Amino acid sequence: AQSVTQPDARVTVSEGASLQLRCKYSYSGTPYLFWYVQYPRQGLQLLLKYYSGDPVVQGVNGFEAEFSKSNSSFHLRKASVHWSDSAVYFCVVGSNAKLTFGKGTKLSVKS
Amino acid sequence: DPKIIQKPKYLVAVTGSEKILICEQYLGHNAMYWYRQSAKKPLEFMFSYSYQKLMDNQTASSRFQPQSSKKNHLDLQITALKPDDSATYFCASSQVRSNERLFFGHGTKLSVL
């Protein structure tokens, strides 16, 4: 069975600071990995996805994530956060669109 | 304009009643899905449809019945509602049933009293 662990339920950072949101996954075989973001009162939107190739994948709005097979991790990073990045971020693993979501990390950016 | 329309946005129901959650997508996609997000659990996959045919069902209860009357519609009928059914239900779609990007609607928040 596949699973995703996001160990941090809430993260608070100051505007302009760097960010890392952690994600560990469990999956048999080669996983499809995603980060989705949910802004307040909106549906989920895809930030980035990874299947193979360069372990560092670029997403929208300056986000990137790094895949590590040895650590079973897919951490999300951003060099400098903006207040508009405040949202809930979900790490996701899946195949054939049967996605398994982590519990999410709520990011608050202080201005 | 939202390309995936879910109606209603909010829904209050009494225990034992039946409700239908509406989902229409205007992206020209061939695969549609339902996911559920309850207060204490992560977002959970429920159903997938491809070309109006049920492909995957991970919902144990038969009280949840998806209905696809048109290619771009995937409604969700819930019967004999229970308080535990309270959640936000998200409809999603993708071009084909694969691992490519899913587009999500804004959700229907269901409260069962």
- pLDDT score recorded for residue B99: 62
pLDDT tens readout for residues B36-68:
999 888 899 999 999 999 998 988 799 999 999
Q: What are phi and psi of A59, to 5 degrees?
A: -125, -160
What confidence tier does A1 reach under pLDDT thresholds 50, 70, 90?
A: confident
Closest-CA residue to A24 (of A82, A77, A98, A102): A102
Q: Taking CB atoms and an 8 Å limit, are A49 and B101 in contact across chains? A: yes
Q: Please say if the pLDDT value at position B19 is more than 90.
A: yes
pLDDT digits (tens, 9 = 90+) for A74-110: 999 999 999 999 999 999 998 767 889 999 999 999 9
Q: Structure tokens of A1?
A: 């069975």
Q: What is the pLDDT of residue B14?
A: 97
Average pLDDT over residues A2-26: 96
How many whole angstroms separate alpha carbon A29 and alpha carbon A13? 35
Minimum-distance CB partner of B99 among A41, A94, A102: A94
Segment A11-26 shows an average pLDDT of 97
**B45/A41 CB distance under 8 A:** no
Q: Does the pLDDT at position B9 exceed 90?
A: yes
Nearest to B42 among A32, A41, A102 (CB): A102
For the beta carbon of residue A9, count every other beta carbon within 10 angstroms. Answer: 10
Which residue in A43, A96, A100 is closest to B106 by CB distance? A43
Sheet strand arrangement including B4-7 = B4-7, B19-25, B75-78, B64-67
Q: Quick: pLDDT tens for A44-65.
A: 999 999 988 999 999 999 999 9
* Chain A nearest C-alpha distance from B81 (Å): 24
Instruction: Determine which of B47, B94, B99, B104 to mutate to test the interface with A (most A C-beta atoms within 10 Å).
Output: B99
At CA A100, angle to CA A49 and CA B11, rounded to 5? Answer: 110
Per the prediction, chain A carries an average pLDDT of 93
Q: How much is the pLDDT for B101? A: 82
Q: Is the pLDDT of residue B1 over 80?
A: no
